[in-house]
Amino acid sequence: SQTIHQWPATLVQPVGSPLSLECTVEGTSNPNLYWYRQAAGRGLQLLFYSVGIGQISSEVPQNLSASRPQDRQFILSSKKLLLSDSGFYLCATTGGDYEQYFGPGTRLTVT
Amino acid sequence: GENVEQHPSTLSVQEGDSAVIKCTYSDSASNYFPWYKQELGKRPQLIIDIRSNVGEKKDQRIAVTLNKTAKHFSLHITETQPEDSAVYFCAGSSGTYKYIFGTGTRLKVLA
């Protein structure tokens, strides 16, 4: 079965600072990978998804970017954080029958 | 565009009663409908799913029904318990890479 790792678990960053969140997946090869953001008390907003190395699709134009340098590694970045970037960032992958599984998440607070 | 509407946004039931959450989807190509449970501060967890070739699926106290003609599907929880209290999300997928999530239902089971 697949295991998703995310770090850090929590992060407090000032406005204007850079961001790098990492997600790695074990137990599968060539997975579909996703980044979601969940604002406090809200639903799941799809930010990026990737079907292979170097293949990134953006769902929401904003100050975030994603990269997939290795098959099972997905990175979310920002050059300058905004207050509105605060939230719970979830990495996800899909199983063999399209079921989607989430990682433990990173809780980001921008101050 | 593609959309999944979820109702109600909040639901309070007495312990032991049943709870029903409903979702409506717009994409006729959707063929996979998962339900997720998210406890406070944690990741969404897949609890049950249904595919378009099935009208109903049951797993102990939870069941999901699908009406393809009307484009809606529902989650049924019977004999609710306090530990069922959480936010529940429905989603639809056409078997491609994207999931469309509903906005969530906050279920409170009152002891």
Number of other CB atoms surrounding residue B52 within 10 Å: 16
A61: cis peptide before it, omega within 30°?
A: no
- Residue A96's pLDDT band, with cuts at 50, 70 and 90, is confident
Q: pLDDT tens for chain B, 111 residues: list them.
A: 678 999 999 999 999 999 999 999 999 999 999 999 999 999 999 999 999 888 999 999 999 999 999 999 999 999 999 999 999 999 999 876 789 999 999 999 999
Question: Which two three-digit tokens encode residue B19?
Answer: 């709870």
Question: Which two three-digit tokens encode residue A14?
Answer: 């000032």
Beta bridge partners of B87: B38, B106
Positive or negative torsion for Cα A61, A66, A68, A74: negative
Q: Are the beta carbons of A44 and B44 separated by less than 8 Å?
A: yes
Q: Are the beta carbons of A104 and B43 separated by less than 8 Å?
A: yes
| Whole-number CA gyration radius for chain A | 13
How far apart, in whole angstroms, are the C-alpha atoms of residue A62 and residue B24? 29
Instruction: Name every residue whose Cβ is closer than 8 Å to that of residue A75 and which is 6 or more positions away in sequence.
Output: A20, A21, A22, A23, A66, A67, A68, A69
Residues of B with CB under 8 A from a CB of A: 32, 34, 41-46, 49, 89, 91, 93, 95, 97-99, 101-104
For A73, A76, A78, the CA distances from B43, given in Å and listed in that order, are: 19, 18, 23
Residue A73 has pLDDT above 80, yes or no: yes
Amino acid at residue number A103: G
- List the single residue in A with minimal CA-CA distance to B46: A101
Number of other CB atoms surrounding residue A100 within 10 Å: 21
Give the closest residue to B24 by CA, choosing from B10, B3, B8: B3
Q: Which chain A residues have a beta carbon less than 8 Å from that of B95? A: 98
Size of interface A-B (CB pairs under 8 A): 44
| Minimal Cβ distance to B97: which of A49, A99, A105 | A49
Q: Are the beta carbons of A44 and B89 separated by less than 8 Å?
A: yes
Strongest mean pLDDT among A27-41, A42-56, B36-50, B83-97? B36-50
Q: How far is A10 from chain B (nearest CA, A)?
A: 11
| Minimal Cβ distance to B46: which of A32, A57, A101 | A101
